[in-house]
Amino acid sequence: MRRGRPEGGSAPARRTLRMSEETAVDAGRGVAIIGMAGRFPGARSVDEFWRNLCQGVEARSVLSGEELEAAGVERSVWTRSDYVPAAFLLEGVELFDASLFGLNPREAEVMDPQHRLLCECAWEALERAGYGASQYRGNVAIFAGSGSNEYLRNNLEARPELFRSVEGMVLLGNDEDCMATRAAFLLDLRGPAINVHTACSSSLVALHLACQSLRAGESDLALAGGVRINVPQRRGYVFAPDGISSPDGHCRAFDEKAEGTVSGSGVGIVVLKRLADALEDGDFIHAVILESAINNDGASKVGFTAPSVDGQVAAISEALAMANVEPGTIQYIEAHGTGTALGDPIEIAALNQVFQGLPSKTCAIGSVKTNIGHMDAAAGVAGLIKTALALQHRQIPASLHFTRPNPKIDFDGGPFYVNQTLREWRTGEAPRRAGVSSFGIGGTNAHAVLEEAPLPEEAAPGRPAQLLVLSARGKRALEEATSNLAAHLEKHPDVNLADLAYTLQVGRKRFDCRRVLVCRTVEEARQALVERDPQRLLTQAQEASSRPVTFLFPGQGAQSVDMGRGLYETEPVFRKHVDDCCERLVASLGFDLREFLYPSEARREEASKRLLQTAATQPALFVVEYALARLWMSLGLKPEAMMGHSLGEYVAACLAGVFSLEDALQLVAYRGQLLQKLPGGAMLSIHLSEKEVQGLLGPGVSLAAVNAPSLCVLSGTVEAMEALEAELVLRKIGHRRLHTSHAFHSAMMDPILEAFAERMHRIKLSPPRIPYVSSLTGTWITAAAATSPRYWVEHLRQPVRFGDGVDSLLAEPQRVFVEVGPGHGLSTLLRNRAGAAAHRVAVSSLHRFPEAQEDRPFFLGAVGQLWLAGAEIHWPKLHVDEQRRRIPLPAYPFQRERYWVDPQPKAEQARAKTGARQKRADLAEWFYVPGWKRRPLPAASMRQVKPGSGWLVFLDPTGIGQRLVQKLEAGGAEVTCVSLGTEFSRKGEKRFELAPGQQAQFRMLGEELQRLGRLPGHVVHLWGLTPETAGQAEETVVRSQQELGFYSVLFLSQALAEHLREQPLQLDVIAHGTQDVTGEEPLSPGKAMVLGLCTVIPQEHPAMRCRSIDVEPPEAGGEERLSARLFQEVLSEVHGHGVAYRGHRRWVEFFEPVRLGAPGEDPGLLRERGV
């Protein structure tokens, strides 16, 4: 019940698979695990998790007293003898890539970190599966569970003012019922989105529900997983002898010393797909889920929280029965294995019942909780991922802390033994199989039966060159993605290059910052990625939108033997259309055109001479250009407009439906034969305007083309052209003889016009279905013209007005151009006409000289350039007739920043509880006045410069900003500078000038930064640092201060908001004379207007944070000291809006309550009942 093949289904043929004859895999019921992602204690990824498992790492942390007190644990508690200062920590829970998901900073800060981590891991898992692109047409479901929300209870609710200010945002961001649906919204998943809450078994129950959804046809891909984050993390616990917690902070599953478990934080998620579909679509399969089962203990147990032998037996037995496998074929069990005195014996007793009668010590057992603690709602998926990795790598990791068995466990009564060391997973006749158990408090049991993945066929090598594509939201992320891929290729040099390219093309979402590389080998790719040669590794920032494509078809003169030969040998679509056209032309030409297009070495000279003859040249060019156009169109590049130069217009007209392919071929062949009968002629390209060449026209010389305002082509007899050449040499006028056999578009064409007109009247002509520009008029073709035989006669005789046609095409600024034919003549003319500042994209399909560069790499380079420019590419068609596979590759490099609300200090909490929320009855107590406190910059708030981070600095005339830029660049920041000027201009790669009061110039700056991929994450505005203004009129001074301060900051924030959208931005406004701190500093009211903006901007644009930093003008020699302080300040985390520096001291703004006094005795200006 598939809703359609995924984007990237490169071949309809069903794949075969090799597996044991004893396998229980039923392609109709098996579910493949095709992607995994997770973050676990001591492991930031699934790869690190597996490495730790193999090395027997216990990712346990012993916490110091300082750490515990910082987490809010009272000294009187953590110094107790029964306090266990141990935890399994997950690093980075406060970090999140909010902008990637379109969330503003406040939304991210108040969202449950469990929701945030699940979204990032869901994204990563889909990319690791090769389905990160949004083009997947099937339904994608998500089933997930989470632990209790301690962030809400311990951090957000402890800050009542914050809670009240964004209460709706807090409630939605922390509702456990919104986690899966929020992930579905942020990732655009259209299948079921269901939150699962069965305590410790939540994530394995989620797996079961996901498999059911796939089998029922509700979804085509399904995500299943869970997350648990302890907040605060760095805390231990008081050991309770009758509880489930370990007395020493170790989980000793099945051991005689097992007395409890330890809580851990983590997240895990898997991507599932019906096995039959995964095999057909070439997905990488980590393992196969044969079946799963869930149930509940009911009341047949000691208490609500106790486990039940009967319940576990029923769940495991049902899963095995549904999987249709014998218990004896299971070689490993990933147990629930909490290490509790009650749980472990019951679990083994249940397993012994299901596996009774099997030989002793034939089935290994282990528990991942000995490595990473008990991750609660994520415990089941952690065990599942461990088991899938064990099946994939054919190794069983050790279960830790097992020395002697728990005497209450009857290991002799069943086949089980605790696996104490990493060992190879050998197997016999049956494939490797395992079971995974997860049992929740409250009695919901889950068990899944897994099997190793079927062996895939050996991957085909693919075509001789490949196109690698990368993209990211920002430049820093793009650089990380490039480095990550290079590192991956270093570790996996045997990766299939075609599968690598295919996965990057179809398995990733597209972003604005893009990069492409054409390569022939994996080592060549790795080296290019490492070296970052800009000539090979092309990079461009382009707003993610579909840009219209225009085809340009060259005319005679660009032809050569072997044009397109490389594509003929490697691209089935191109070959199909060349073959079709050539076979249709045999009767008209009397020979097979392919013999001269792609001759053997022995006939190469003969072929070259034949292609110089117009009778062969014109049909050859038509065939190659038509086949090229069809190849481009198969890649999804449907032309929105077209233009052909002379003969090239026949290809455009044919594609537009003016005449059929059959008629077009016969017409072009007949046209070429007519021209061949004419006397030979010559053509000259001359660097003069149409007006300037008029004096050169005369008997034997005609105007053949106007290709540009100062570039024309003259055509005529050989003698006349030779005489003209001699004259041009004397006059030192640039010119070039064209590669043609006849004097096209000249009076020499007149003898064949009548015959051609007669033939045109026999051709069925239809109105064009695709707009194209006429090379006869230089304007858009009309239906009347296209269907008039007379038009095509005039088209043969009159000048080609390509220059006017280019102007018509350039009227649409978003167009990208493809020269569909050999060479780059037309694209060069177009770029020259547009001018370098216009940044118009025009690419060539084939090299002018086939021997100079192979066709496929050249063509792939053109594909890459178009994709960089924003064209939509249908990537699977680059691999047509191949069975490509998605392979695991590095996922998106999240640009994670701190989004965390720290808990309120206990003293403040106490004050809040004593009435902070109560409304004051006395109106006189409602008021506050601003004040300033001396506060040194906290060491904890200081940050280092992030290498590659984007900064925008508005340079002041005093030089402080330039010193700041030097410090930032020394730390590795990418800094763009803006100086004062009279008009907007670019002064270098990283420097601009603009006028402060001109809003349009700020918009131009934003657009240029977007185009260059240099949108900042941090802006430092220093135009408020101005020299003395003695002697100037006060009105002039205030107006200048307003433009440099208030209006420039306002226009800047508006311009950047248009492009940054939800991407965070820190804006620091540095000035002097804006704040009254000591009561002695001179103030500038015109400058102070910007303070209100600093408060309002974050309210208007929630993704922006803004603060004002007021300084004293430095004394001579003090510039370096001030710039050093500002450097530390702008790198610090932002708290509050106002900071000031006075001398060596730093001040921060605060507001204190003030009570209004009683009215005085003096009569007021207003009196009661007055008029």
DSSP per position, 687-736: SS-HHHHGGG-BTTEEEEEEEETTEEEEEE-HHHHHHHHHHHHHTT--EE
Q: Is the peptide bond before 232 cis (omega within 30 degrees of 0)?
A: yes
Rounded Cα distance between 510 and 503, Å, is 13
Q: What are phi and psi of 547, to 5 degrees?
A: -95, 140
Q: Are 572 and 662 in contact (CB under 8 A)?
A: no
Catalytic residue, from 121, 200, 513, 1106: name it: 200
Tokens of 682: 């010559």
Alpha-carbon span 82 to 245, nearest angstrom: 12
Tell me the backbone φ, ψ of residue 734, rounded to 5 degrees.
-65, 135
- The sign of the CA dihedral 957, 963, 964, 970 is positive
Q: Hey, what's the torsion of the CAs at 846, 852, 855, 860, to 10 degrees? A: -80
Residue 204: CA atoms inside 13 Å, Cβ hemisphere, count? Answer: 38
Catalytic residue among 115, 208, 286, 374: 374
Cα separation of 1153 and 922, whole Å? 13
Active-site residue flag, 1053: no
Helices (H), 71-192: 75-78, 105-109, 113-129, 150-151, 160-165, 167-174, 179-187
Among residues 1011, 865, 947, the alpha carbon closest in space to that of 537 is found at 865
Instruction: Tell me, yes or no, if 646 is annotated catalytic.
Output: yes
What is the layout of strands, in order, in the sheet containing 549-553? Answer: 772-773, 641-644, 549-553, 816-822, 842-846
Amino acid at 542: Q
> Is the CB of residue 1067 less than 8 Å from the CB of residue 1095?
no
The structure tokens listed for 641 are: 């407009």
CA 821-584-863 angle, to 5 degrees, is 25
Lookup: tokens for 205: 């129950």
The three-point CA angle 581-586-590 to 5° equals 145
146, 646, 1053, 1123: the catalytic one is 646
Helical H segments across 188-302, by residue range: 202-216, 275-280
> Tokens at residue 926, please?
């409602």
- From 208, 336, 1021, 1101, the catalytic residue: 336
Q: Give residues with Cβ within 8 angstroms of 984, minimum separation 6.
A: 992, 993, 994, 995, 998, 1000, 1001, 1004, 1005
- Annotated active-site residue 393? The verdict is no
List CB contacts of 22: < 8 A, sequence separation 6 or more.
Answer: 329, 429, 430, 431
**Residue from 50, 179, 49, 42 nearest 122 by CA:** 179
Buried b (16+ CB within 10 A) or exposed e, 606-641: ebeebbebbbbbbbbbbbbbbbbbbbbbbbebebbb
Contacts of 709 (CB under 8 A, 6+ apart): 689, 803, 833
Q: Is 590 left (phi over 0), alpha (psi -120 to 50) or beta?
A: left
Contact 32, 274 (CB under 8 A): yes
Strand, helix or coil for residue 312: helix
Beta strands in 192-306, from DSSP E residues, in sequence order: 193-195, 221-228, 237-238, 266-274, 287-296
Residue 1040 is a catalytic residue: no
The radius of gyration computed from the CA coordinates of the chain, to the nearest angstrom, equals 37
Cite the active site residues.
200, 336, 374, 646
